């Protein structure tokens, strides 16, 4: 990802949505703003708009090399003098892979760092705390305690927090998480860094919590949303479930919900691709990091690879969302999941990667994409 000359000085963008007008002012950006994000409309009465990342591989398929460049660029902005241990937390579900990518880059110079992601999927392991993301389609987040003794000790003695999300609109989720961690007994924290691809929060977390907080992002700006009071509110599908489904998770085969310190590429080690073959690797829900590492490997092998992932986030067609597939979730929760901007026939090969058994993946999705299911069988 070539940053060229970082943008400084305000740049105005806007989107006319069904429920009002979103106006954005970009103050500074490491990359071209329109290469970083676009707009979409939520099917959510609590918040009408969504900033859709073009480098995250969640709602818009992205090349693994482009994603890694954004992870590395964001990690490079994190202060080098943070006291350790450093606990990096990525926000479910959208920023689980982003948080892992930031931690991977950070861990190259910090062997006293660990990564933990929030989750809406109880593993059956011990919970540390939970917190709320009020505007979300699924507001409750869980944080599990690591089972590994050294990882758990590093977490409980962490002196710095790096909180990672794809974007910050108000900063409230970071504030809620920080308070929940303190209330749960994480009492050695001296520094907090929020790390986002796009930050619209106006330094809200530092203003609310104090000067031990700082923020880094690839883009900094502000927005205003002028709501149309006559606009009809959308019906939001029921996607807020925080529960074990019919396909329970094995905490011994988990990655990131239970805390990790290293990044091992272990998924489908024998998979072969042809040079130039158009391949889409799809992660499922929060299970995105090992699929991403597979996508990176296939890209290095010469295939034309994009990465995307299923989501429980209900988004309307239009703006950045050209195409949507809807299907049942693969955890047996009975909730709809979605895959955006992937049309049947667009790729030579589609690989759906899952931590649940292959039988849990909706046959309608497999059929629509003529996909192969790859199960994490560590």
How is 12-61 classified by DSSP, letter by letter?
EEEEEETTEEEEEEEEEESS-HHHHEEEEEBS-TT--EEEEESSSSSSS-
176 pLDDT exceeds 50?
A: yes
Give Cα separations from 297 to 61, 62, 301, 321 (angstroms): 17, 15, 6, 28
The pTM is what? 0.95
Asked, for residue 322, whether it belongs to a domain, the answer is: yes
pLDDT band per the 50, 70, 90 thresholds, residue 134:
low
Indicate which CATH number applies to the domain containing 303.
3.40.50
27-79 pLDDT, tens per residue?
999 999 999 999 999 998 888 999 999 999 999 999 999 999 999 999 999 99
The reported pLDDT for the residue numbered 1 is: 47
The reported pLDDT for the residue numbered 155 is: 97
87-112 pLDDT, tens per residue?
999 999 999 999 999 999 999 999 99
- The average pLDDT across 114-137 equals 85
**270 is in which domain, residue-wise?**
264-375
Asked, for residue 287, whether it belongs to a domain, the answer is: yes
Question: What's the rounded Cα separation, in Å, for the pair 325 and 352?
Answer: 14
Question: What's the rounded Cα separation, in Å, for the pair 121 and 327?
Answer: 18
Asked, for residue 92, whether it belongs to a domain, the answer is: no
Count of domains observed in the chain: 1
Q: State the average pLDDT for the chain.
A: 93
135 pLDDT exceeds 60?
A: no
339 pLDDT exceeds 90?
A: yes
Asked, for residue 321, whether it belongs to a domain, the answer is: yes
4 pLDDT exceeds 80?
A: no
pLDDT band per the 50, 70, 90 thresholds, residue 136:
low
199-251 pLDDT, tens per residue?
999 999 999 999 999 999 999 999 999 999 999 998 888 887 788 899 978 87
255-291 pLDDT, tens per residue?
899 999 999 999 999 999 999 999 999 999 999 999 9
Give the contacts of 211 (CB within 8 A, at least 6 positions apart): none
Asked, for residue 220, whether it belongs to a domain, the answer is: no
The reported pLDDT for the residue numbered 226 is: 96
Asked, for residue 347, whether it belongs to a domain, the answer is: yes
% of the chain with per-residue pLDDT over 90: 85
- Residue 209: helix, strand or coil by DSSP? helix
The reported pLDDT for the residue numbered 3 is: 47
The reported pLDDT for the residue numbered 185 is: 95
Asked, for residue 300, whether it belongs to a domain, the answer is: yes
Asked, for residue 2, whether it belongs to a domain, the answer is: no
Q: Are 211 and 234 in contact (CB under 8 A)?
A: no
CA atoms within 13 A on the CB side of 91: 28
The reported pLDDT for the residue numbered 249 is: 83
DSSP result, 214-278: EEEEEEEEEEEEEE-TTSPPPPPPS----S--SS---GGG--STT-BS-----SSTT----TT-E
- The average pLDDT across 298-327 equals 97
The reported pLDDT for the residue numbered 2 is: 46
């Amino acid at each position: 990802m070539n940053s060229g000359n970082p943008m400084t000085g305000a740049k105005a963008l806007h989107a006319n949505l069904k429920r009002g007008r979103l106006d954005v002012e970009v103050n500074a950006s490491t990359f071209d703003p329109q290469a970083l994000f676009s707009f979409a409309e939520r099917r959510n009465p609590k918040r009408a708009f969504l900033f859709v990342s073009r480098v995250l591989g969640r709602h818009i398929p992205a090349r693994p090399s482009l994603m890694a460049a954004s992870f590395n660029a964001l990690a490079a902005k994190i202060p080098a003098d943070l006291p350790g241990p450093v606990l990096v937390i990525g926000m479910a579900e959208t920023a689980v892979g982003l948080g892992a990518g930031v931690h991977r880059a950070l861990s190259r110079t910090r062997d006293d760092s660990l990564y933990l992601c929030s989750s809406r999927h109880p593993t059956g392991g011990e919970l540390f705390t939970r917190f709320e993301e009020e505007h979300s389609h699924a507001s409750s987040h869980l944080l599990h305690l690591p089972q590994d003794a050294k990882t758990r000790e590093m977490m409980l003695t962490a002196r710095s927090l790096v909180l990672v999300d794809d974007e910050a609109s108000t900063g409230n989720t970071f504030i809620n998480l920080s308070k929940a961690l303190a209330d749960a007994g994480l009492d050695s924290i001296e520094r907090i860094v929020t790390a986002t691809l796009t930050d619209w929060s106006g330094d809200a977390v530092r203003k609310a919590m104090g000067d031990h907080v700082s923020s880094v992002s690839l883009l900094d700006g502000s927005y205003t949303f002028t709501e149309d009071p006559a606009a009809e509110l959308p019906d939001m599908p029921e996607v807020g479930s925080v529960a074990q489904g019919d396909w329970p998770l094995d905490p011994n085969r988990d990655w990131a919900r239970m805390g990790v310190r290293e990044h091992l590429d272990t998924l489908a080690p024998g998979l072969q691709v042809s040079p130039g073959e158009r391949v889409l690797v799809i992660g499922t829900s929060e299970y995105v990091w090992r699929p991403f590492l597979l996508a990176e490997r296939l890209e290095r092998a010469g295939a034309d690879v994009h990465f995307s992932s299923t989501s429980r986030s209900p988004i309307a067609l239009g703006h950045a969302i050209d195409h949507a597939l809807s299907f049942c979730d693969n955890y047996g929760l009975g909730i709809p999941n979605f895959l955006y901007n992937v049309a049947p026939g667009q790729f030579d090969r589609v690989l759906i990667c899952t931590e649940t058994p292959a039988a849990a993946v909706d046959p309608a999705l497999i059929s629509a994409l003529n996909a192969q299911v790859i199960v994490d069988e560590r």
